[in-house]
A and B are shown apart, each in its own frame.
Chain A
Amino acid sequence: KQEVTQIPAALSVPEGENLVLNCSFTDSAIYNLQWFRQDPGKGLTSLLLIQSSQREQTSGRLNASLDKSSGRSTLYIAASQPGDSATYLCAVKAIEYGNKLVFGAGTILRVKS
């Protein structure tokens, strides 16, 4: 059974710091992994999608890596800003589950000004 774990559960950093959010999954048989951001009372915003054949994806200050063999992904945020404060969720599309995404519980990020 595919399980997705995100560490840490919460993180508070001063503005300007570079930070790493971690996501691990138990079954390496995946189609892709997607990182989302969720602001309070809002929907999920897609940040980055990494297909199983890819090692990383970049968008602006965000970089996500994927190591399928070890069941890990990291989301790197450079030069964090207060506007980055949100909950970050990772989700894997596991081959076992076809079209279903399996979500982690999320990391709550607070960037202090």
Chain B
Amino acid sequence: DAGVIQSPRHEVTEMGQEVTLRCKPISGHDYLFWYRQTMMRGLELLIYFNNNVPIDDSGMPEDRFSAKMPNASFSTLKIQPSEPRDSAVYFCASSTYGGASGRENTGELFFGEGSRLTVL
């Protein structure tokens, strides 16, 4: 399998512009996660989906951030309008269920290479 694929790898934009980050999870994985990594705050979970349905978006910092998963093989994270403090590396990750009871999954998590966003 090709792994989790993210695009673009690098994005430089000006404050106020709309940014769209894209992710293709590993085929057959039914969980998809969006993380943000900065030096100051480390890795932060923004939102995750199960079977294309958003389950928990409590990590989304503001209404300027939105995420969608229209089908099992594609997800987007959108920032509108972007601000300099949004500069970070955004990671997408996916996993299988893993077989635990309930909805919680114990599957191994696989990350994409990340999208480095710089907002000037």
Known: A43-B91, A43-B111, A43-B113. A98 touches B56 (CB 8 A): yes
> Which residues of chain B are within 8 angstroms of A34 by Cβ–Cβ distance?
108-109
Interface size on B, residues (CB 8 A): 25
Interface size on A, residues (CB 8 A): 23
Give bound CA distance, A99 to B56, whole Å: 9
Of A10-18, A45-53, A68-76, the one contacting chain B is: A45-53
Interface of A is mostly: strand
Give bound CA distance, A42 to B41, whole Å: 17
The reply on B43 being an interface residue by CB < 8 A is yes
| B112 and A51 contact, CB distance less than 8 A | no
The reply on B70 being an interface residue by CB < 8 A is no
Give bound CA distance, A41 to B56, whole Å: 28
| A98 and B104 contact, CB distance less than 8 A | yes
| B45 and A51 contact, CB distance less than 8 A | no
Interface string of B43-68 (1 = CB under 8 A from A): 10100101000011000000000000
